[in-house]
Structure 1
Amino acid sequence: MSDKRTTSSVPNHDSQDSLLNSCGIIMPISAQADPYTAEHWRSVRTALEHAIDKAKLTSKPVWDNPASETITSNIIKNIYEEPIIIGDISNHNANVMLEIGMRLSTKKPLILVKDNETDYPFDVKDITCFTYPVSLDYGKMDSFIKSLSIRLTDIIESVKNGSYTSALENINIEIASPKVKEVSEFEMISDKLSRMEDKLDSFNKIISKSDNLQQKNNSLESEINKEKLELIARSRMEMWKNLSPEELNSEKIIHEFNKYNR
């Protein structure tokens, strides 16, 4: 989260008026692909600061927090504590979008802005967004600054009179909770025994399959041996056909004949 800016928090008591004196800024600051150079972002920041100044507020980028020692803690602290925040979602900067999401979770005032070349993300389509020209044309930027300043002033007044409503104010999220079923000791034991029987049945099926495979293997070996012997016998018979009568009557040939023709 090296690319961050400020946020705001909205108090809910009469003493809050004195706290509505600053406006956080969440926006990119590092150079990206053209036209989003570092100089471009500096010019956008200047425009936002002009609008904030016209609303009689002090601009406060979220990464600014002298009381904190780390950049990350600066950003998070300001995102949750600033009374109002302006977030620039131009070019859909990942860090900025993450910080915008964090700010939305606070239900505190958030104003979105973007340039006219950036598509409006579906996730925040229900939140009003002010558009400025990516070219930063002076005349159009002046109109943008005035409109943004008026919006800031309106939000300040709505917070003071208690009429401000967050974009997420009316969204209700129902969280499912696990159901608990009470069972007797007998039911619990019966259930465990049933599970054990199922496991034993599965185990027996595995053993049965193993036995069947072994039987098939033995049968296959028997068939192979039988075919092997028959092949040898046929070879012997072919050999005997070429023997003379004297050779056929020898004891060795008679023994071999009896061996393969039983």
Structure 2
Amino acid sequence: MANKVKSELPEHADKPLTCGLIMPISSIDGCTAEHWAEVKSIITDAVNTITEFSFSVNLVSDQEDVGVIQKRIVQNIYSSDVVVCDVSCKNPNVMFELGMRLAFDKPTLIIKDDGTDYSFDTGVVEHLNYPRDLRFAKIVSFKQNLASKICATYKASLNDASQSFLSSFGTFKVAKLDQAEGSPEQVLIEMVQDLSRQVSKIGNDFYNREAYGRTIAGSSGLLASAFNELPMSSKSADVGRLLVISSGPAEPMETLATSVASMGLEMNLTARPDKKGSTEYVLTIHSYSSELLQKIHTLANNAGVRIKELRRI
């Protein structure tokens, strides 16, 4: 490969630019996870041929540290120097993340396969097409075109007079994320504080459950009997939480979390290392019932979640 020559960009002189990927990664519309892994490899190869700039390529959900997945995705969607978004099969998570990136009005390149039609809202944005069957000859041409478009899109973003997505519709106040630089010590302190708040919440939840249990146990036999005869859904807020643990990938768990949130249930999705050092994903649902358990099984299967463990706490 030819040596890469970085443009004179003092802001990025000491590190590569970031090219974030928004794309499906699990089975959808007849396309398997292996298909998307190959598409990701094609995009990465195309970016790596760019000689004018040096880009590192990662999914916006990827990050080395462990933390709240949604926070990581939003941060990467916002901070990536350029984003390539594959809207093939119109995955709901992909379309939502694309909308967020466009709201930030930052350089974005949309691609799709030839089996997917255009969406009304983003049809005004140029799309690069590639064959869904990933035929070699057409993929070679696509990779060349993609590399050229990424380079041109990023260069245009450096020009204040460049035409952005939002400017095509009028004058808007662009959404921004407040970011502040801190020393390693400050970052560590904030992480410890976040951890302390989470531990405190767990402790409070446990205390409340124990106190409620003692109240029920100490009540008259009639009251305790009445409570025990209630359907599980009627006392779901008092009987603990439901944990869904998966060994990955992340996107099926995000789809499951979105479905749970749409049911009006309080939940949070986090990533953590397992005993082998790999990443596992934990969806905590802050209520429990036998009916909910059945629904979660169904939703998890539909989302393609590989359940490692499902337990009530």
* TM-score > 0.5 by shorter chain: yes
| Alignment correspondent of 2:111 | 113
Displacement, 1:73? 1.3
Contact 1:155/1:164 (<8 A) preserved? no
- The alpha carbon displacement at 1:156 in A equals 2.6
* Alignment match, 1:32: 28
Aligned residue in 2 for 1:21: 17
- Asked if 2 retains the 8 angstrom alpha-carbon contact of 1:80 and 1:103, the reply is yes
Show structure 2 runs of 5+ residues with no match.
1-8, 174-313
Deviations, residues 183-230 of structure 1 (Å, cap 9, x unaligned): xxxxxxxxxxxxxxxxxxxxxxxxxxxxxxxxxxxxxxxxxxxxxxxx
* Structure 1 match to 2:44: 49
Residues 26-64 of structure 1, C-alpha deviations (whole Å, 9 max, x = no match): 000011232x10111001000111111112311021001
Selected match of 2:134 from 136, 160, 182: 136
CA distance in structure 2 between the aligned counterparts of 1:140 and 1:121, rounded to whole angstroms: 23
Q: Confirm or deny: 8 A CA contact 2:16 2:56 kept in the other structure.
A: no
Deviation, 1:157, is 2.2
Conservation of the 8 A alpha-carbon contact between 1:109 and 1:155? yes
User: 1:131 and 1:125, CA in 2 relative to 1: closer, same or farther beyond 3 A?
Assistant: same
Distance 1:119 1:71, change over 3 A: same
Aligned residues of 1:16 and 1:160 also touching (Cα < 8 A):
no
- Tell me if structure 2 keeps the 8 A contact 1:131–1:144: yes
CA contact (8 A) 2:112 2:127 kept: yes
What is the rounded CA distance, in whole Å, between the counterparts of 1:143 and 1:104 in structure 2? 27
Q: How many residues are matched?
A: 161
| Aligned partner letter, 1:134 | R
Q: Looking at secondary structure, tell me which structure has more strand per residue.
A: 2
Distance 1:84 1:173 in 2: 22
Q: Distance in 2 between matches of 1:168 and 1:161?
A: 16
In structure 1, runs of 5+ residues without a counterpart are 1-13, 176-262
SS of match in other structure, 1:22: strand
**Letter of the 1:47 counterpart:** I
SS at match of 2:104: coil
| Partner Cα separation in structure 2 for residue 140 and residue 174 of structure 1 | 39
Structure 2: distance between partners of 1:26 and 1:110: 10
Please say if residues 29 and 89 of structure 2, whose CA atoms lie closer than 8 Å, have aligned partners that are also in contact: no
Residue 160 of structure 1 and its aligned partner are, at CA, apart by: 3.4
After the TM superposition, which parts of structure 1 deviate over 6 Å for at least 4 consecutive aligned residues? none
Percent of pairs identical after alignment? Answer: 32
The residue identity in structure 1 corresponding to 2:21 is I
Secondary structure of residue in 1 paired with 2:109: strand
Measured after TM superposition, the shift of residue 161 of structure 1 is 4.2
Q: How does 1:1-262 map to 2 (within 5 A)?
A: 15-18=10-13, 21-34=17-30, 36-55=31-50, 56-67=54-65, 69-172=67-170
In the alignment, the residues of structure 1 paired with residue 69 and residue 24 of structure 2 have an alpha-carbon distance, to the nearest angstrom, of: 15
Distance in 2 (CA, whole Å) between partners of 1:163 and 1:66 is: 36
Task: Give the letter for the 1:39 counterpart.
Answer: E
C-alpha deviations, 1:134-166, integer Å up to 9, x for none? 000011011001000001111232233444331
Contact (CA 8 Å) 1:21, 1:57: kept in 2 or not? yes
TM-score (norm 1): 0.57
Q: Kindly indicate whether the alpha-carbon contact (under 8 Å) linking 1:112 and 1:127 is maintained by their aligned counterparts in 2.
A: yes
> In the alignment, residue 29 of structure 2 is paired with which amino acid?
A
Tell me which amino acid in the other structure corresponds to 2:61. W
Larger-Rg structure: 1
**1:111–1:129: 8 Å Cα contact kept in structure 2?**
yes
The structural deviation recorded for 1:171 is 2.3
Higher helix fraction: Structure 1 or Structure 2?
1
Between the aligned partners of 2:115 and 2:48, the Cα distance in structure 1 is 26
| RMSD, matched Cα | 2.1
